[in-house]
Structure 1
Amino acid sequence: MQFRKDINGLRAIAVIAVVLFHFNNSLISGGFSGVDVFFVISGFLMTGIIFKGVEENNFSISKFYIARANRIVPALAVLCFSLIILGWFFLTPYDYSFLAKHIKGSLTFSSNVMYWKESGYFDTDSYYKWLLHTWSLSVEWQFYVIYPLIIVYMRKVMSIKTMKKTILFVFIISFLLSVVVTYQAPHFSYFMLPTRAWEMLAGGVAYLFPIVLTKRNKIAFEYTGIILILSTYFFISESDLWPGYLAIFPVLGSYLIIQAQRANSLLTGNMLFQHIGKYSYSIYLWHWPLVVVIHYFSLPGFYIYIGLILSIFLGFLSYKYIERHTFKASIFNLRSLLNYKPLMMVLSILVLAILIRSQNGFINLAPEEYKYLINNSQPSPLRGDCHISKYKDPSDSCEYFNENNVSWATLGDSHSTEIAYALAKKIQPYGIGLKHFSYSGCKISFDMPNDFSDCARWYNEAVDYIVNDKKIKNVVINHRFTEGLFGEVDVSSEQHLKQEMTKSTLEMVKSFDEMVLLLAAEKENIYLFYPIPELPENIKDLVRLKYRKRNIPDNIVGTSLQWYQERNKYMIHHFDTAKYPSNVHLLKVEDIFCDSKNCYAVKNGEPLYFDDDHPSLISAAKLIQSIKIN
């Protein structure tokens, strides 16, 4: 397509926002929406290329794919290879292994799926994912693969006019889907193509339905578009559900600027924006790893400015020496395919990534203390198979080891999973089995209506199952009680220490007591664990700080004992004063995780967690020591 200075300047507006947001989100709270601007631009350009070829009957899908690969792959491959080299010298084996995993996702353009499954875009641990930003490249590539195939097929069965109307219709459907799914499954909506396609199709609509404007109206369109985009940058934040209906503002703004076609505008056509626009892809690629460097190595705040300068400088070098390089490709057979350099770059780096991943980041070369901590800060080997995050009939719950003699059961949220496995291993030599009931993030939901929580139906059915199964004699219960009652935790903040009892909270505690009494009346023993302390960071992040100094002590502090007691004061007090029957046993956890001053992530050389709040198998084994089998 003919080069358009206004679109090139719009790229600059997008990348500046994204870069500033990532380095310091207080500067531009909605800067992440610059990615939405990129999507509209991409959709406009791709629709133009494809439709022009289709209308002239000379469109080649293979040439289209090769052109996109030449544009995207080489710079991305060089970035990935650079991270592999730097990672060898500076990353812990655990982090090096995860870098390799993320490189595989990025180079196969599936990283958006990977990050959707791992966590949210704005989560704290996102700052330790070196290639998180490639999720948007994966979405675009998936669009590039599917979009021309659909258009070519459509051309065989319908007219150009009908094709245009169909794309407009799909744009509307995708937008409505995005609005609905953003509320129902925000992580999915953020990362996945079906809920992002409408943004690229908005660019397609701009190409397919151009608007003829007077000079005055062009200016009005452009200024309105700029205002819409900037209002998103400064009035939206990561606390808003995204993309959803709010994304219409940067998308519509980009649409209006593209329709305005103001080639010589001072806003988009100035020399600075033209240069930044040319380097925008490479700037985008390099800026995020520099953000991660600052967080990973806990560098002082002024490094933000160094990072901003380096982002532009590395972006310039990448543009000049990699992006502008012409990779010739005439792929007719296997030999010519193997001579295609971008493909060889990808395959070579993927081999390295697979090797690194297979060797767990070459953990065997690490100090013994580090190897022990990482190898033992592990979840239950049955967590993936037995712990659920959506409804499953309780009768189908896992039974451990001695299925024909199940007389124990565990009930709770994800914090009961490792306890279930440790307990099952303890009772296994006695020929006794255990049935495991756990639901991720499940609040206390006994005797609550199904719409009270995602797990309410399951919770009530699980309790009924345990009560009615006469073979089950003993029940162990563990929840992340305070999180369920008062919300997510931020160990560095005081706000979660101000706990206000609401009607809902009181109802949950009352229903929990009713459940305990019901179970106690039907079973021989009920065991209740006090709340387990929560860490400020993943245990592997805390170990990382010690690893870099090559000094891994026997004890690594997680939080203060005072903070733990303040955070969980309501449930601690409730358990301390509860008047349960004598067959209800309350099990304190402070002696395992804490001393008189602190609660530990690592205590006496042993990892007590596998992340920031779930007990490791080691601490789970300690927790169940006080449970009597006979």
Structure 2
Amino acid sequence: MRFRKDINGLRAIAVIAVVLFHFNASWMPGGFAGVDVFFVISGFLMTGIIFRGFEQENFSILKFYVARANRIIPALAVLCLVLLVFGWFYLTPLDYKALGKHVGSSMSFLSNIIYWRESGYFDATSHEKWLLHTWSLSAEWQFYIIYPLVLVAMRKFMSLKAMKATILVGTVLGFIFCVIVTYKWPNSAYYLLPTRAWEMMIGGVAYLYPLKFAENRKKAFEWFGLTLIILSYIFISKENLWPGYLALIPVLGAFLLVQAQRNDSAVTGNVLFQLLGKWSYSIYLWHWPLVVLSNYYSIESAIFLIIFSVFIGFLSYRFVESNFVNNNSVNWISIGKPLIICLFVIFFSTLPFNDVYLNKFENDGFFDKNVDIRNDWFYPKESETIKGVDINFVEGVGKENVLFLGDSLIQQYYILTKERSVKNNLFFLTESGCFPVSGFKYRGGHDCHNFMWLEKIINEVNFSKVVVTGNLDQYLLRNDNFIERHDGFLVSLDTIDGKEELRRRIIELFNILSEKTDKAYYIFPTPKGDMYDYDYLGRLELLGNGSKDIAFPKNNNVEYKEFIIPILNEFDVEIIDPQQFLCKPNCSPFYNGYRLTHRDSSHLSASYVAKEVHYLDFLISN
């Protein structure tokens, strides 16, 4: 197949969008759709390679895999090794362990599955994961593994014409499946191959069903496709569920631009786009770690880092990619090289777990005492179901029933049920990330369903006391946190005043509680902020600025209190403010020497709660 300058230029359009979005989302809110454009290109090229082999009756799966491995693995391996060396000196032990895990998953092309499984409430934010962007490489490689095997199997009993029709039908069905899954399980839809395969398959459709146009029609198709891509970059944002039906806009745009076949286009064929397209894979590899680096050390020079991404991408292409990319011969050397490189890097990804590395911190107070702080959390799964609602029940020695209602800010106190003598029967109705009123959606897109059926619990169990808390910060200034159900789908109520709707639903909650329970309590959030976070303090420690004598004033939570206190006063709800007990007189992230009070920036560690927290004892212990 002749070199397609238009496709090479399309790569540049995709990588520019991704880089701009990652360095500053406001510059190109939908720039992440550049990945979807890459998928279309990959599907087109891979389908072309496979079907030309079928037509010439010389297709080799082994040769296909070797070519893909030589294209992807060497540059990725170099990036991973550089990050491992950097991390040895400049990352905290917990960050380095996470990096080692992610290097191993990236080199084994399972990182999309790992990041999907890590997409829970407590995991490090995306800007702390050095190889998060490799999820797309993993999804693509999984497609490379499965796609030719399926096509070779189909070729045994189908004609090429029937195979082409099957791919077309499969693409349509894959898109419908993607739309459904995106609304029901958005995290799964984003990361996993089954909901992304149609984007690569539509590239295959572009190869199998090429459209023939006159030159003026080609230009119209090119510009229409380009317009769709640019519109998706500008008007779609991370607030939209993705991929879903909206992904059809950039995908269709890439499809049309490929179909236009304008190899002499001034848009895609200019010198700059041709160079960026040639370096696009390496630019994509290196730009994201620079984004994380800027976040890690608060570097604000985005323009410089973008230019540096292009420069280091050029170096990677010149000295790594170009030495492997055209090596498609099948022999022991061509097979062994990428395999050995891959195994070599996977072996070094175990460094963060090695005693040689861990001994560096053996006598260090901060790192030694907090090595497992991220795992210092205790909240088991629900133990009972009442009227179809999952709830955690702890039986006490008395007859009083107490309901703990809220998000992870109430879950953090569950350890007290194991550390204190339980007097009352305790019920924990909780859901991470969800303020305890009906109709909210969690940041990942699912509804906070437990609280939709709170009245079932209240009517079934006679509660003498109820304790409520929740993180309002992520809701106060947002209008898109409310949902309603229509035929199994979640629909955002984007036109409402979010703050007023929140107020209305909290009043509704306390109306129910005041009617059905004897006494209600509201717990303000525990002290929070970067100054409590292991990563932040660990970086200070690495730079020689750490101190166990750090102290700072209480956080007044002015906006939070101005919003919630008038509501609570209407219902005579008793307020418990943890800062009054934990900050005497100032707040500190440490207790017992260098031991941290928090497992992250906003949640207390289970060890600290068990030893130091007593303001809920009157509800729990004797």
What is the TM-score normalised by the length of structure 2? Answer: 0.83
**Where does residue 572 of structure 2 map in the other structure?**
579
CA contact (8 A) 1:558 1:601 kept: no
Q: 1:567 aligns with which of 539, 560, 577?
A: 560
Name the residue aligned to 1:11.
11
User: Which whole-Å deviations, capped at 9, do the CAs of 1:412-435 have from their partners, x for residues lacking one?
Assistant: 33222231122322227x9x9866
Equivalence map 1:86-485=2 (5 Å): 86-119=86-119, 125-301=125-301, 304-326=302-324, 330=330, 340-357=336-353, 362=358, 365=361, 367-376=364-373, 378-381=375-378, 383=379, 385-386=380-381, 411-412=404-405, 413-427=407-421, 436-445=428-437, 453-456=448-451, 459-463=454-458, 466-467=461-462, 477-480=467-470, 482=472
The answer to whether structure 1 residue 71 and structure 2 residue 67 are counterparts is no
CA shift digits 1:238-280 (9 cap, x unpaired): 3333322222222122112211112222222222222221111
Change (3 A) 1:21 1:510: closer
Contact 1:103 1:353 (8 Å CA) reproduced: yes
C-alpha distance in 2, partners of 1:264/1:305? Answer: 31
Query: SS at the partner of 1:134?
Result: helix
Q: Which amino acid aligns with 1:325?
A: N
Q: Name the CA distance, whole Å, in 1 between partners of 2:525 and 2:577.
A: 8
The 5 Å alignment of 1:494-533 reads 502=500, 505-512=503-510, 514-515=512-513, 518-520=516-518, 528-533=522-527
Structure 1 match to 2:579: 590
* Residue 611 of structure 2 corresponds to residue 611 of structure 1: no
- Deviation, 1:376, is 4.1
User: For residue 617 of structure 2, what is the aligned residue in structure 1?
Assistant: 627
Secondary structure of 1:477's match? Answer: strand
Moved more, 225-234 or 160-169: 225-234
Q: 1:517: how far off?
A: 5.5
Answer yes or no: is the 8 Å Cα contact 1:5–1:274 preserved in 2.
yes
Which structure shows the bigger proportion of residues in helix conformation? Answer: 1
Structure 2 SS opposite 1:277: helix
User: What is the CA–CA distance in structure 1 between the aligned matches of 2:174 and 2:333, rounded to whole Å?
Assistant: 35
**Contact persistence 1:530–1:572 (CA under 8 A):** no
After superposition, the Cα gap between the structure-2 partners of 1:247 and 1:120, relative to the gap in structure 1 and judged at 3 Å, is: farther
Deviation at 1:109, TM superposition (A): 1.3
Could you report, residue by residue, the CA deviation over 1:74-118 in whole angstroms, capped at 9, with x for unpaired residues? 111111011000111111111111111111221121212222233
The verdict on how the C-alpha distance between 1:590 and 1:201 changes in structure 2, with shifts beyond 3 A counting, is same
Residue 486 (str. 1) matches residue 480 (str. 2): no
- In the alignment, the residues of structure 2 paired with residue 391 and residue 337 of structure 1 have an alpha-carbon distance, to the nearest angstrom, of 60
Letter in 1 for 2:430: S
Whether contact under 8 Å (1:555, 1:601) holds in the other structure is no
Could you report, residue by residue, the CA deviation over 1:137-191 in whole angstroms, capped at 9, with x for unpaired residues?
0111111112112212222232222221221112112222333333333333222
Q: What secondary structure, in the 3-state scheme, does the structure 2 residue paired with 1:80 have?
A: helix
Separation in 1, partners of 2:613, 2:356: 29
Q: Kindly tell me: are residues 346 and 49 of structure 1, through their superposed partners in 2, closer, same or farther at Cα, counting changes over 3 Å?
A: same
Q: How many residues align?
A: 591
Secondary structure of the residue aligned to 2:418 is helix
In 1: Cα distance, 2:263 partner to 2:499 partner = 60
> 2:531, 2:601 within 8 Å by CA — same for their partners in 1?
yes
Q: Distance in 1 between matches of 2:75 and 2:447?
A: 49
Q: Which residue of 2 aligns with 1:21?
A: 21
Offset from partner CA, 1:506-558 (integer Å, 9 cap, x none): 3433433533663438xxxx765333344358712331342233232236568
1:200 CA displacement: 1.0
Change (3 A) 1:399 1:501: closer
User: What's the CA shift string for 1:450-470, capped at 9, x where partnerless?
Assistant: x99522355445445653xxx
Q: Measure, in 2, the Cα distance between the counterparts of 1:425 and 1:615.
A: 15
Q: Secondary structure at the match of 1:427?
A: coil
Q: Is the 2:409–2:471 contact (alpha carbons within 8 Å) kept by the matching residues of 1?
A: no
Structure 1 residues 403 and 423, CA gap change in structure 2 (3 angstroms): closer
Q: 1:21 and 1:143 mapped to 2: Cα distance?
A: 25
**Distance in 1, Cα, partners of 2:616 & 2:392:** 24
8 Å CA contact 1:377, 1:617 repeated in 2: no
Q: Distance in 2 between matches of 1:360 and 1:566?
A: 48
Q: Equivalent residue of 2:404, what SS?
A: strand
Label 1:527 to 1:67 Cα distance change in 2 as closer, same or farther (>3 A). same
Gapped regions of structure 1 (runs ≥ 5): 468-472, 490-498
Quote how far apart the aligned CAs of 1:330 are. Answer: 4.6
Mark the CA change 1:409 to 1:191 in structure 2 (over 3 Å): closer, same or farther.
same
Q: What displacement does 1:124 show?
A: 8.9
Unaligned runs of 5+ in 2: 441-445, 480-496
SS of the aligned residue for 2:247 comes to helix
Q: Calculate the TM-score normalised by the size of structure 1.
A: 0.82
State how far apart, in whole Å, the 1-side matches of 2:98 and 2:563 are.
38
SS in 1 for 2:412: helix
Q: 1:242 & 1:360 partners in 2: Cα distance?
A: 43
Tell me the residue number matched to 1:494: none
Question: 1:461-500, CA deviations, whole angstroms, 9 ceiling, x for partnerless residues?
Answer: 5445653xxxxx98663421635873679xxxxxxxxx98
Are the equivalent residues in 2 in contact too, given 1:556–1:603 (CA < 8 A)? no
Matched-pair contact (CA < 8 Å) for 2:40–2:202: yes
The aligned residue for residue 542 of structure 1 is 536
C-alpha spacing 1:611/1:464, structure 2 compared with 1 (3 Å)? farther
Distance in structure 2 (CA, Å) of the matches to 1:568 and 1:11: 50
- 404-413 vs 437-446, greater mean Cα deviation: 404-413
- 1:556-606 residue CA offsets vs partner (Å, 9 max, x unmatched): 5688522x14323343455566436xxxx753312234456x655556855
Matched letter for residue 315 of structure 2: L
For 1:527 and 1:275, the matched residues in 2 are separated by 63
Moved more, 410-419 or 192-201: 410-419
Would the aligned equivalents of 1:592 and 1:619 in 2 still touch at CA under 8 Å? no
Give the Cα–Cα distance (whole angstroms) in 2 for the partners of residues 43 and 141 of structure 1.
11
Give the whole-Å Cα distance in 2 for the aligned partners of 1:87 and 1:104: 15
In structure 2, distance between residues paired with 1:509 and 1:609: 31
Q: CA deviation at 1:340?
A: 0.9
CA distance in structure 2 between the aligned counterparts of 1:4 and 1:316, rounded to whole angstroms:
20
Residue by residue over 1:14-47, the C-alpha shift from the partner in whole angstroms, topping out at 9 and shown as x without a partner, is: 1122222222333333222211111110010011
Aligned-partner Cα distance in 2 for 1:396–1:297: 42
